[in-house]
Chain A
Amino acid sequence: MIVKSLRETMLGMWSLLVGMKVTAVNFKSTQITVHYPREVVHSLEGYRGHIELVPSDEDPYKPKCIACNNCVRICPSACISLTAIKPKKKAAEKTEAPDSADEVKTKGKKEAPAKKAKPELESFVCDYNYCCLCGLCVQSCPTGALRYSSNVYLAGFTRQEFVLDLLSRLQNQAQKKEQ
């Protein structure tokens, strides 16, 4: 009985020493964590940040978006809202929708692909507070006008700061590129 418990204790002590050896070996290995404010990680490839608009090939200030509202409809959290201006001439020719001035909000999609003159995007707002980063909007876009940003270090004090006006963001980006 005593021999057995002594043996058990000794084996237990030995298991602790084995564990300590693992700690000692790892103690000598190099550091693998990153000291955040002083250095940042670079493996951000594939990171899905909030969405942003892709500039068109001709004009970096203009988005590729054709205001088809596909993204608005697919979004599970309903966090995208966009408005578009119909080209004036075409709007006059149209017989069915003269009442709602220039704004095509929900009818946008049906008209957009059929016409040659694209409706011009007026505003594109993503409410990042509700976004679940599923990426369905990016995949549903027929013209590839949306992409993920790699904006990881997004922080703010109020909810309003996360209501992102993506159109002006695009224009700011284009301006920065020019300078």
Chain B
Amino acid sequence: MNLDLRLDTSGDFYARKFQPTKREDTLILNMGPQHPSTHGVLRIILEIDGEYILRAEPVLGYIHRMHEKMAEVMSYPQYLPNPARTDYLHGLAWNWAHVAAVERLMGLEVPERAEYIRVITCELNRITSHLLWWGAYLLDLGAFTPIMYAFDDRERIQDILQRITGSRLTYCYYRFGGVSNDIDDRFIEETRKQCSRMKPRFKMFKDLVTDNFILRKRVEEIGEIPADTCRKYGATGPVLRGSGVPYDVRRAEPYSVYDRFDFNIPSYDTCDAMGRYLVRMDEMQESIKIIEQALDTLPEGDYIMPKAPKKPKPPAGDVYFALEGARGKIGFHLVSDGDKSPYRLKLRAPGFSNLSLFSEVSEGVLIADAVSILGSLDLVIP
């Protein structure tokens, strides 16, 4: 029995393995895993000199839930609810990536109407995701009110989505060969109403927050991530576009019916937190443009293939499917041996790559700026 009751200052495994710089007058500080601005259960070990960060190292794995392993023991339809849990803010995109990977491996032809429904719901979900990021980021920076405005719109969109998908957050809506529920006139009407309601709201968001000089002082020229750093770490999504690279999977390798819509890929080459902020604000407006175009050209037809496989058994082989989530490129690499469950499933979560560059970017910045950088990466720790 260990009777030595003196305070153990050596820390846990990660703290002991952490390599501080050679300086002696520094302090090791743990940020998280329960810190309100670390988004989810993320822990960052910081070596600080006063207010300045010398080294930062994210510690991962606090809520590792073995989603990849679970896929190997479940049949394909049983895994349907899982992907949405890996990114609770943009669940439909993950749901879509899973379904589409299986469809591509089996060579299923999804009805056009189903593709349109997928685009509409996925874009609505993207808006809710960005709205929550917007509110939460400003909470990190110390502004409380904006999240109330964000949730006003977010809840309305969730009400729309709830009516047809049945859930508000962790969606399980897409099925192999289509979607589980058709959309009706009321959905279309409500979505249109919401789209026209949102448009003046962006002006209001701009007046209230984006132009506010307190915010600008916190985000402008903070956390500059050069495009090279993004490439080095594989960062995608708004982080990459905020660094001046207009790369979007919807445009780079168009999946589904995205090639039929007219929309811009916003990108800012300021490379700072403001660039990433503006990319997301613009993206919401682009999403609304896509939704309105999709509603205008929504074709009639089946919402799911008439002979959609209930228990799919894809042929042996492997397939990769990537799509653009709210946080970046979502990838599903599926290896099948012809059985009722995958042989191996590899998920590519954009948050992981985006987080990896944090330790390089946060070197030498203030702790308060590190919070701003972390928030601007829009992390969801799965």
Beta-carbon contacts of A6-22 to B below 8 Å, as 1s and 0s? 00100110011011011
Q: Which residue of B lies closest to A13 (CB)?
A: B213
CB of B235 within 8 Å of the partner chain: no
Contacts of A23 in B (CB 8 A): 145, 208
The stretch of A43-51, A80-88, A100-108, A119-127 in contact with B is A43-51
User: A139-B180, A148-B166 are contacts. A74–B207 as well, Cβ < 8 Å?
Assistant: no
Contacts of B222 in A (CB 8 A): none
Please tell me if the beta carbons of B212 and A134 are within 8 angstroms of each other in the complex.
no
Contacts of B170 in A (CB 8 A): 132-133
Chain A: residues with Cβ within 8 Å of the partner, total of: 28
CB of B172 within 8 Å of the partner chain: yes
Contacts of B152 in A (CB 8 A): 32
How would you classify the secondary structure of chain B's contact residues: helix, strand, loop or mixed? helix
The number of A-B residue pairs with CB atoms under 8 Å apart is: 70
Contacts of A140 in B (CB 8 A): 310
CB within 8 Å of A: which B186-214 residues: 204, 207-209, 211-214
> Once the chains are docked, how many angstroms separate the CA of A104 from the CA of B82?
31
> Once the chains are docked, how many angstroms separate the CA of A134 from the CA of B77?
10
CB within 8 Å of A: which B71-106 residues: 74, 77-82
Please tell me if the beta carbons of B163 and A46 are within 8 angstroms of each other in the complex.
yes
Contacts of A46 in B (CB 8 A): 162-166
CB of B363 within 8 Å of the partner chain: no
In the assembled complex, how far is the CB of residue B161 from the closest CB belonging to chain A, in whole angstroms? Answer: 9
Q: Which residue of B lies closest to A49 (CB)?
A: B166
Contacts of A76 in B (CB 8 A): 74, 78-82
Contacts of A21 in B (CB 8 A): 207
Contacts of B166 in A (CB 8 A): 46-48, 133, 135, 148
Range class of the B interface residue count:
20 to 34
Please tell me if the beta carbons of B208 and A19 are within 8 angstroms of each other in the complex.
yes
CB of B167 within 8 Å of the partner chain: yes
In the assembled complex, how far is the CB of residue B71 from the closest CB belonging to chain A, in whole angstroms? Answer: 11
Contacts A46-B162, A134-B80, A135-B166 supplied; 5 other A-B pairs, CB < 8 Å: A15-B213, A46-B163, A132-B81, A136-B80, A140-B310
Please list the 7 inter-chain residue pairs (A to B) with the smallest Cβ-Cβ separation, ordered nearest first.
A12-B213, A48-B166, A134-B81, A76-B78, A46-B163, A134-B172, A22-B208
**What are 29 contact pairs spanning A and B, CB under 8 A?**
A12-B214, A15-B211, A16-B212, A16-B214, A18-B207, A18-B208, A18-B211, A19-B208, A22-B207, A43-B159, A43-B163, A46-B162, A46-B163, A46-B166, A47-B162, A48-B167, A75-B78, A76-B79, A76-B82, A133-B166, A133-B167, A133-B170, A134-B81, A135-B166, A135-B172, A135-B180, A136-B77, A136-B78, A139-B180
